Amino acid sequence: MKLLPLAVLLVFIACWEFAVRALEVPRYLLPSPLDVARTLQEDARQLASQAFVTAQVWALGLVFSIAAAFLLCVACYASHGLRAVIKPLLVASQAVPYLVFAPLLLLWFGLGLTPKVLLVVLTCTFPLAAVWLGALEEARTKYETVCAMLKMTRAKTFFSVCLPASLGGFFTGLKVSVSYAVVAATLAELIGSEAGLGVYILRAQGSYRTDRVMAAVTLVVALSLASTALVEAVRRRVVFWQRPK
């Protein structure tokens, strides 16, 4: 069963290649998988340099997202009043298309690193915080009474019991956020940037090099999948006592 997704992907690629060749679809409309693979090889150095720029935005945005999500979770854990206010906002935030803020961020902060990182933070913080907070509340329900009987302080209960117990939820939210971060970084570069995979896509689109567009999109998908797999590998080592749901 583990090989089934790979088999489906290979069948899809084979059908794509056959359809493009059989129907004689122009390359500028839809390149074949072989054309995309050839472009990936020919532009490997340029794609690598642009991907490095995007990866910087991804990494910085993700670090700040984790920090912001942690602060939100601590605030909700420490105060029932804040939790009553923040939790509904976290749920409602899932319906907000944060990409609409990109033009404003570019207007306020220019074409540098800051607006792109902020867009990643906006995109990733709230999904991560929502899942993590749910895991914290579940751990609190299970262990708070026992910890109170043991005369543990609220801070000790949080850091010694509830926080470790919520790590499964943290990694579940992080798996979603890391893929969001790659896409958000690329979309931010599409709207306005000086370098990155988004800029590479815009330039390729302007010159009708659809094969380059597809090559960059393939690389974005690969980065998303690789980051998700990395988070899962770390989760298995850190939260070794829990199995993924």
Mean of the per-residue pLDDT values of the chain? 84
**pTM recorded for the entire structure:** 0.84
Q: Give the model's pLDDT for residue 12.
A: 85
CA distance 42 to 167: 42
Burial 126-144 (b: 16+ CB within 10 A, else e): bbbbbbbbbbbbebbeebb
Q: What is the pLDDT of residues 66-107, one digit of tens each?
A: 999 999 888 888 887 778 887 777 777 777 677 777 777 877
Q: What is the pLDDT of residues 100-158, one digit of tens each?
A: 777 778 778 877 788 888 888 988 888 898 889 888 888 888 887 787 777 787 888 88
Q: Which runs of consecutive H residues, i.e. helices, occur in the chain?
A: 4-22, 33-42, 44-78, 80-92, 102-109, 113-149, 154-157, 163-165, 167-191, 197-206, 210-238
Q: What is the pLDDT of residues 152-190, one digit of tens each?
A: 878 888 888 888 888 888 998 898 888 888 888 888 887
Phi-psi category of 171—alpha, beta or left, where left has phi over 0 and alpha has psi -120 to 50?
alpha
